[in-house]
Structure 1
């Protein structure tokens, strides 16, 4: 027990690697082995970078840290080290980079270090989502008559990236069909999955089996809600389910006609798909004080904030509202989490160009203490992150980095991998 607290003391002072190695060597020299349970408990608290270094101590530790059971335990017990995964299009390259969230919170004016660009490609990459520290990357390449699509799964913390998986082709005759993807984890089978929605059909790619299957009983909802902002509103993963916004099944609106008018919240629904049972549930969006609010030509978005499903939208070009589902899966539990005026957010609400409506502003995440809401904006001249302090009603901004933030996803560091 004394050794355990000794290590905890050094852990808090960021000197635990040296202390752990020295103490372990001293004990081994005396012919005494540390209990396996103690070693596992201590190692499971360490950050990924340190564990990768400790794998070199001996074969036993390397085997332990690489064991899938330890990987799962570490994900459950370690302190989350949250990051953002970003995409930057810089012709002819499309680059993916990662950035620690704490750096952004403590110094919003900081410059993104360009040397942290990790993946490069001369075609197109898109960050679909994150789960257990893995980033799902979609890659597209083009020929004269079709588009090649495949996925790679990258762990930025370990620098391990999978081979190309889930490949399929899309005919260019259907190039305008809306494809939406969500990445998640099936808790029942312990496998990662990608969900595809297109033309009213829903397909699931099981990464372990490397096959696509269609959910034949899935109703043909109108999933084409996102007007050009597929990088924002594909959907979210939460508690073994994927969730996305669709039009009500009797309101199949064309993109053009929907662009010409405002919509009301009752025209939308949220679809919850259980990745284990592959069954779905329809959820109604929140209603403000029993009134069916008009959404002025902005699409609503969903996000996960502090492990809660959230629904956000704009009202009368004056306010940004976020609702929180306090009991997941129960639409009666919607409560208004935030209502922020555009004035407090210091954003201009005078939109003259329809393109400015698309992906105007959307929530990325909340800080660990719940005091700072991190919003991404993709308005022309305002392509940056907005840090809104809930307690002090104060706004800080990052530098304008082009459309880089409109592709951002948050993730936690882990040892997980897909080969």
Structure 2
């Protein structure tokens, strides 16, 4: 059988196959080059304006922005720009996509784990995945602000700032807490928006009480500690809560002259104390109060004689702006609402077993709330339908849970 090599493709075929292939090739080559010319001469793909690209990137989670810096020099410059960092922080601060939970590991003090809040809301029946951080030492968390965590090194008794989203930490500095009997009774970490400085508030106690403020900055040193006036009243919790845009730290407290419940504030700009009033008519009937920040607003939750209630201050410092977000009755059809949330063999016969810590962590746009109950149990409550869900985070038992907002803010200043 004779094989002939094709001049077009170089393959060898029988004479019959070669003739058929040649006719097909010649026919194809005579077809006008409509497709090829269209491809060659088609206009380039449309290019998005820089302004639109920036608007899109301002909504992107931090982990993707870190990858997008490799796309081009212009993108790297944009994402690293301090103004972009600020606008990204402001635009995503109340978005659950950018909210995370953080907890030191019980079994390994040199590790911390983090979990995306949004995953708990989306599918509470499926255990959520967590991210593990290997720490250089054992740390406790003094406060969070703008995605930065203020950490206290327990062994070295030093302090540093850390952004877990971009995995950058500042240099540590000693607190001068050399006396082992000296301990922190109250703390808070926030941002002075007038002088553009982060500040740490600490109340220390040994034989006497001393309150200090530390100002972070490029030139910060031991002289950055400033002794200030002690609390005018007694806060009931150690952790102060920073309200974005106000420059204030806030604690729940009892007034010195009477038994009224109040919120004592510390202004990081003027470094002075103030008082925030509770909702009208509520200051005398609160039980197990908790102060939290939800949707960038100051919120307070507590038990009254019939319900667990959650209030939100829409406009900071204005008593009339308190708005009741939800009410959960103690009993529904004779069954204690909180039994299934805080139940433990320890408290099975305690008549006040439902009056244990109920701390709101996050709230969605449609009002579904994530709560931390006794023993760090997580609960989702949907007040629209009265449904309870019990999300689980894969990995380990969580305790001392903190919430923080992922950001591009650098702890290096």
Q: Which bracket does the TM-score occupy, shorter chain normalised?
A: 0.7 to 0.9
What is the CA-CA distance between 1:395 and the residue it aligns to?
Answer: 0.6
CA distance in 2, matches of 1:246, 1:403: 34
Match of 2:134 in 1: 119
Alignment counterpart, residue 191 of structure 1, candidates 194, 197, 216 = 197
Deviations 1:67-106 (A, max 9, x none): 2122112223458433323223334534212111111012
The 1:374/1:77 distance shift into structure 2, 3 A limit, reads: closer
Check whether the contact 2:371–2:380 (CA below 8 A) recurs between aligned residues. yes
Check whether the contact 1:241–1:275 (CA below 8 A) recurs between aligned residues. yes
- Are residues 1:249 and 2:242 paired? no
Number of equivalenced pairs: 351
Match of 1:131 in 2: 145
Check whether the contact 1:238–1:309 (CA below 8 A) recurs between aligned residues. no
- Are residues 1:327 and 2:342 paired? no
Alignment counterpart, residue 234 of structure 2, candidates 205, 222, 232 = 222
Structure of higher CA gyration radius: 2
- Are residues 1:154 and 2:148 paired? no
Deviations 1:104-138 (A, max 9, x none): 01222333435x21133553x22333222222333
CA distance in 1, matches of 2:255, 2:173: 33
Deviations 1:291-324 (A, max 9, x none): 72152xx3x21011222211112235x6322222
**TM (normalized to structure 1)?**
0.72
Written as runs of structure 1 = structure 2, the 5 A alignment for 1:208-357 is: 208=217, 209-211=219-221, 212-214=224-226, 216-223=228-235, 225-226=236-237, 230=238, 233-239=239-245, 240-250=247-257, 266=260, 268-288=261-281, 292-293=284-285, 295=287, 298=288, 300-316=289-305, 319-342=307-330, 343-345=336-338, 346-347=340-341
Query: Structure 2 stretches of 5 or more lacking a match?
Result: 1-42, 331-335
Alignment counterpart, residue 168 of structure 1, candidates 161, 168, 176 = 176
Match of 2:12 in 1: none
What is the CA-CA distance between 1:55 and the residue it aligns to?
Answer: 1.5
CA distance in 2, matches of 1:403, 1:273: 36
- Are residues 1:417 and 2:387 paired? no
**TM (normalized to structure 2)?**
0.73
CA distance in 2, matches of 1:157, 1:348: 32
Deviations 1:157-206 (A, max 9, x none): 2222222246332522334xx42222211111222222213355432221
CA distance in 2, matches of 1:319, 1:202: 37
Match of 1:54 in 2: 68
Match of 1:9 in 2: none
Q: Residue 181 of structure 2 aligns to a residue in which SS?
A: helix
Alignment counterpart, residue 216 of structure 2, candidates 188, 207, 211 = 207
Deviations 1:392-412 (A, max 9, x none): 111111248899554222222
Check whether the contact 1:181–1:196 (CA below 8 A) recurs between aligned residues. yes
The 1:108/1:150 distance shift into structure 2, 3 A limit, reads: farther
Match of 2:26 in 1: none
Alignment counterpart, residue 381 of structure 2, candidates 377, 388, 410 = 388
Match of 1:16 in 2: none
Match of 1:12 in 2: none
The 1:45/1:250 distance shift into structure 2, 3 A limit, reads: same
Check whether the contact 1:236–1:244 (CA below 8 A) recurs between aligned residues. no
Check whether the contact 1:182–1:237 (CA below 8 A) recurs between aligned residues. no
CA distance in 2, matches of 1:38, 1:347: 46
The 1:169/1:71 distance shift into structure 2, 3 A limit, reads: same
What is the CA-CA distance between 1:386 and the residue it aligns to?
Answer: 0.8
Q: Residue 193 of structure 1 aligns to a residue in which SS?
A: strand
Q: Residue 173 of structure 1 aligns to a residue in which SS?
A: coil
CA distance in 2, matches of 1:283, 1:194: 21
Alignment counterpart, residue 76 of structure 1, candidates 90, 103, 107 = 90
The 1:50/1:216 distance shift into structure 2, 3 A limit, reads: closer
Q: RMSD of the TM alignment (CA)?
A: 3.5
